[in-house]
Structure 1
Amino acid sequence: MKQTERPIAWGVVGKDRPAIALQRKNLNSTPTPGPEDVVIRNEYIGLNPVDWKMIRNWPANWNIGHVPGVDGAGTVLRLGENVKGLVPGQRVAYHQDLCRDGSFASHTVVDNRALLKVPDTLPLLLAASLPCPLMTAWQAIEKVPRQPEANVLITGAGGMVGRFLIQLAAQRNYRVTAMASPRHHKTLRQLGAESVVAWDTHSLKTQFFAVFDTVNAQHASSMADWIEANGHLVCIQDRLKTPPVPAFDKAISLHEVALNALFRVGTDRQWAQFRQAGEDLLTMVAHENLRAPEPHTEDMATLPDALEELTTQDRPLKTVIDVHHFANGE
């Protein structure tokens, strides 16, 4: 299918729900990269909850017309003068800086350090669905010291981040308990959870070395009683403003996860580690050593409505937008 020739994007026109806040705009030309940047011709766009949450919250640095979207996959179009190790036409996936125009466009300018080379055997459609949930799960598991056979709990495990976390934890020989709705239990066992429980702490039978919470700060705080002394509480969806236990009590270590922190203060060493880990994980998905669900696909023209659907209870597990289907002049 023919890639759209005239650059287009979905920009925000106000602080509202996605179906109203996003408006299509035609661009006069493809973007120009800065010295350390790369212009990506997007082929697929991965939708994430953070996308609609940012539109509703409207960050201070956003202006009318800002293009949202954190995840995308496509090919390298243009390189900044200082960029090395990449070539035009190379297949890449990325997680974008929230302060820059994002992936809801035919072309996106991305810091070259954030680009992950996609294995030839991994379809770009699937690659676009991975950066945010996969790298969030990786960052979360990296927060906790390795302790094989330790018990860990993952809440909200039926979502994308939770599913990847189960697999990464099982591969590190943790004993994984997954908390999720019953409809997910069979799948979560297949992914590596030794036990699964519903949204009910009365089902819990043990204390945990670490709890990975994907719900919110209030829920994370409520799990503190189930963490063993000197254990870990990793907040993925939110952050705790106050410690959930008294000082010098259980001595729980608190962690927060924020992929975009690297764009603000990340060192070259950290970026290199992020990129290597990301490319290794994409290779694992390509080799089916890490299972990723097949995403639901929508056309570029339906992006605002598809993002709106992610705010509902009946949302697809993962939605990817096919940029090819946005015909020029539509």
Structure 2
Amino acid sequence: MFIETKAWHWYGSDNPMELDLKTYQMGPLADHQVLIENRAIGLNPVDWKLMLGFSKDWKQGQIPGVDGMGVVVAVGKDMRHIRIGSRYTYHTDLRFPGSFSHHIVVDGRALIAVPDRLNNVSAAAFPCPGLTAWQAFQKTSNLGGKSVLVNGAGGGVGSLLTQLLIDAGAKVYVTASSHRHQMLRSYGAIATFDYHDQDWHQQLQKALAGQPLYAAYDTVNGQSAAEIAPLLGFYGHLICIQDRIEKAPLPAFTTSISLHEIALASTHVFGNDQQWACLVQDGQLLLNHIADYKLHLPQIHTVQFEDIPEVLSSLKQNNNGIKYVACIN
């Protein structure tokens, strides 16, 4: 089965405005694959970051995009349990053509069923930030009553992670731009700090009355994560969601903190079938929470498929915390 479809293609430029929209022919499905006709595509900061050339798997003509949702139009022979016409959302394998397309081939094990009561746009906004937040959340346990920090809680990952931690009973302190503070306090954050303030570390320590943190989740970069390591107590946890910590941030035999690295994309390469089954099951649970208004996505702004380069360029210049979703009519 061959299908001709339309997609945005990347030819090496770091400028999203130089993406090229053209048709291409998709080949037959492998046994484990499913063909999705996209209805909505979630845009993420990682989409423009990959255009900087970070992925060794990207070649000229790569189709970008990691998130999307749509309806099943064809299945490989091992995926016949998946019903044609059913709705799924997904996070793509970065080694293959991405979601900036009218159609996409997805590994069947990565499909997350969309609840009937959840709209297409919300479903497309979920996978990358939602699953990343969930993987970070799972790095720690027994959170009830413990003080934790989310550094960079105003974005999609940080805001979802904040809610998950609060629901688990943690005392959550957050940093974000000041215009995001009211939203985060409405979720139940104990205190909010503006990361633009040079003394926010001191402000946090004062709010903690000198007590250390049990865990800190950093959504900024490895350097930022290393800088908050001294705020952790003995056997604390430092979770680096964006980037990684290459060198131990504290001397040996001191607080003996545990370092955690989050890499959702690596699940496609190194995750086994059992791990994928658990992630998909958890993803479906979170989608149900979103549908029931128990978990809140960031503010969503819809655009058209043809607007993807312009919106991605804007997102590159200013990540304002708004989630952009491109719709295909």
**Which TM-score tier does this pair reach, normalised by the shorter chain?**
over 0.9
For structure 2, the 5+ residue unaligned runs are none
1:97 corresponds, among 88, 93, 97, to: 93
The secondary structure found in structure 1 opposite 2:183 is helix
Equivalent of residue 24 in structure 2, options 27, 37, 54: 27
Per-residue CA shift, 1:219-275, capped at 9, x if unaligned?
110001101110000000110000100112110100010112221111121011001
- Kept in 2: contact 1:31–1:39 (CA 8 A): no
Q: 1:33 to 1:299 in 2, by over 3 A?
A: same
1:42 paired to 2:38: yes
Amino acid at match of 1:259: L
Q: Please tell me whether residue 284 in structure 1 is matched to residue 289 in structure 2.
A: yes
State the percentage of identical aligned residues.
40
Please name the residue that 1:191 is paired with: 187
Q: Which of 264, 269, 277 is matched with 1:272 structurally?
A: 277
Change (3 A) 1:84 1:191: farther
CA displacement, residues 19-73 of structure 1 (integer Å, 9 cap, x when unaligned): 12x1111124x54321101011001000001110011124222111110100001
State the number of aligned residues: 318
Confirm whether residue 144 of structure 1 aligns to residue 140 of structure 2: yes
CA distance in 2 between partners of 1:73 and 1:147 (Å)? 33
Matches within 5 A, 1:174-185: 174-185=170-181
Describe the superposition over 1:267-316 as per-residue Cα deviations: whole angstroms up to 9, x where unpaired.
12101100100000000000111111341111111111111111122645
Task: Quote the Cα distance in structure 1 between the aligned partners of 2:310 and 2:320.
Answer: 11
Structure 1 residues 142, 316: CA separation in 2 closer, same or farther (over 3 Å shift)? closer
Q: Is the contact between residue 8 and residue 25 of structure 1 (CA under 8 Å) also seen in structure 2?
A: yes
**Does the Cα contact within 8 Å between 2:5 and 2:103 map onto a contact in 1?**
yes
User: In structure 1, what is the Cα distance between the partners aligned to 2:85 and 2:299?
Assistant: 25
* TM-score normalised by L of structure 2: 0.94
- Aligned residue for 1:143, secondary structure, equals coil
TM-score normalised per structure 1 = 0.93
- Distance in 1 of aligned mates of 2:294 and 2:188: 12
Matched, 1:302 2:271: no
> What secondary structure does 1:285 align onto?
helix
Structure 1: which 4+ aligned runs deviate by more than 2 Å?
A: 313-316
**What's the offset of the Cα at 1:114?**
0.7
User: Are the aligned partners of 1:32 and 1:39 in contact in 2 as well (CA < 8 Å)?
Assistant: no
Bigger mean CA offset, 290-299 vs 157-166: 290-299
5+ residue gaps, structure 1, are 325-330
Question: In 2, distance between residues paired with 1:241 and 1:34?
Answer: 38
Structure 1 counterpart SS, 2:317: coil
Question: CA distance change for structure 1 residues 123 and 16 in 2, over 3 Å: closer, same or farther?
Answer: same
> Is 2:209 the partner of 1:204?
no
Check whether the contact 2:156–2:321 (CA below 8 A) recurs between aligned residues. no
**Which residue is equivalent to 1:213?**
218
Residue 121 of structure 1: SS of its match in structure 2?
coil
DSSP 3-state at the match of 1:148: coil
**2: CA distance, partners of 1:167 / 1:62:** 35
